A and B are shown apart, each in its own frame.
Chain A
Amino acid sequence: MPNLSTRWLKKSPWVYHVGTGGCNNCDIEILDCLTPRFDVERFGIKLVVSPRHADVLLVSGPVAYHIKPRLQEVYKQVPKPCVVACIGACACSMGIFKDAYSVAGPVDKVIKEIDPNAIFVYVPGCPPKPETMIMALVKALQKI
């Protein structure tokens, strides 16, 4: 990716939250990041409500069959460059849902089906702590 186009992305990553069938615990931890205790706005991180405004997709949960086309559709609607953050053990590697009959696969596999060059950040934990998420995002954005 050219250097220029990510220069300011680090300073203001706007995140969009996609739940793909997890147990809802990760989603609650994501909301914790916005509370006064963690306040991610210090880093310019802002929760947006339309995928068109997003720079980072926060995906939580294993990808169930019925949500797979929707996740791919949402990914296509995000203006590039963008980062996909897999929040929680489920999103990284399906966690406790491994070998279940209803899941299509971890997030990276599903998204690589439509865009092999997608950028991923993995935040393991069940659920990961808000500190971990903030650290992962900050570190990932320094890398790209």
Chain B
Amino acid sequence: MENLVLYLLAFLVFPGFLFTSTFGLVVSWIDRKVSARIQWRVGPPFFQPFYDLFKLWQKELIIPRSAKGMAFIIAPFIGLAATSLLASIIGIINLNPEYQFVGDVIVIVYLMMIPPLAIIWGGFSSGNPLAALGANREIKLMMGYELPFILAVVTVFFKVGSISLGEIIQYQQVHGALLNHPSMLVAFAVSLLWLQAKLGEIPFDISEAECEIMEGPFIEYSGPLLGVYKVMMAMLHVVCPWFLISIFWGGTSMQGWGILWSVLKFVFIIVLVIIIKNTNPRVRIDQAVKFFWGWVTLLALIAMVLMFLGY
């Protein structure tokens, strides 16, 4: 019983929903502020993402007549629940690497596919042709970026000799971060490209291209449901970098200077994403899929070969 309460707390409050969503909204402020500074603008005030969210909460919710009502409403919540679960799994294992179960990395990789799937489902069920087009592109993009990423994760598995996140983190506590090896550096580069596509940032924001298909799957969403999607995306901006830090960069710690160091790692990855986003044009979907299945997969294979050669 007590365990159940603890699990619920972990899911809803500390590493889970509340913590990650608040942190995620701060990250989205960082995103907008840094983008604004890059474009020589002033940028929004600190609480802007929170204002946006509260406002969306108070707006009318419109469910289009062409939408499949239930799916249209449920989809965002499924994405949100999956993201909260991800945050709590990754957070708990980072706090206490002993707290693991066999194959949790595989569970995490699978769970990370659910938010895009929720977006796809919501897009298709909204009954809007542009949303369907966006969802269609999201499927193709997902097929593109998951292959090299899974190869990169498998490289880590072989290096450490374990498929549980706790053991990967413990290995790094003993032997130093995996990033010190050249092969892992290559795998990390692959993962950064995956991150860019996963978060739906330019150059891979093909599925929600604003000026082309008008936010794609989100086009019919209004008010609170749009807010749920915004929170989900904000949480993904925390969870995905956190996972990369855990498997490549020694994880995060909550003691003393460790907190500062963890935040710095995090900010480094996020700012890198923002800079890539602000200095690149959007690619077409066929270019993106070719890029991921061609060059990036090649890079992932190189990482694997280097790892087997002992680098």
Contact = CB atoms under 8 A, between A and B. Distances in A.
A44 interface: yes
A12 B62 contact: no
B58 interface: yes
Interface stretch (B17-25, B35-43, B155-163, B266-274): B35-43
Contacts, number: 78
Contacts of A70: none
B218 interface: yes
Contacts of A39: 36, 41-43
B59 A55 contact: yes
Interface string A1-41: 00011111101101000000000000000000000100101
Contacts of B214: 49-50
A52 B219 contact: yes
A69 interface: no
A44 B210 contact: no
A80 interface: yes
Contact of B45 (A5, A44, A50, A81): A44
A42 interface: yes
A8 B60 contact: no
B254 interface: no
Interface in B44-87: 44-45, 47-48, 51-52, 54-55, 57-62
A112 interface: no
Nearest to A35: B41
Contact of A44 (B41, B48, B219): B48
B181 to A, nearest CB: 42
Contact of B44 (A8, A9, A42, A48): A42
B52 A12 contact: yes
Nearest to B214: A49
A74 to B, nearest CB: 13
B188 interface: no
B40 A79 contact: no
A7 B60 CA distance: 14
A14 B210 CA distance: 14
Nearest to A54: B222
B210 A49 contact: yes
B52 A44 contact: yes
Contacts of B55: 8-9, 11-12, 55
Interface residues of A, number: 24
A8 B54 contact: yes
> For the side of the interface on B, what is the size category?
20 to 34
A141 to B, nearest CB: 11
A12 B48 contact: yes
B222 A53 contact: yes
A41 B49 CA distance: 12
A102 interface: no
A95 B83 CA distance: 53
A11 B62 contact: no
B104 interface: no
B226 interface: yes
A7 B50 CA distance: 13
A77 interface: yes
B4 interface: no
Given A36-B39, A53-B218, A55-B59, 18 more contacts: A7-B54, A8-B51, A8-B57, A11-B47, A11-B51, A12-B51, A12-B55, A36-B41, A39-B42, A44-B45, A49-B215, A50-B220, A52-B220, A53-B222, A53-B226, A79-B60, A79-B61, A79-B222
Nearest 4 A-B pairs (CB), nearest first? A11-B51, A79-B60, A8-B55, A52-B222
30 contacts: A7-B54, A8-B51, A8-B54, A8-B57, A11-B47, A11-B48, A11-B54, A11-B55, A12-B48, A12-B55, A39-B36, A39-B43, A41-B32, A41-B43, A42-B44, A44-B48, A49-B210, A49-B211, A49-B214, A50-B219, A52-B219, A52-B221, A53-B215, A53-B222, A55-B55, A55-B59, A79-B61, A79-B62, A81-B59, A81-B60
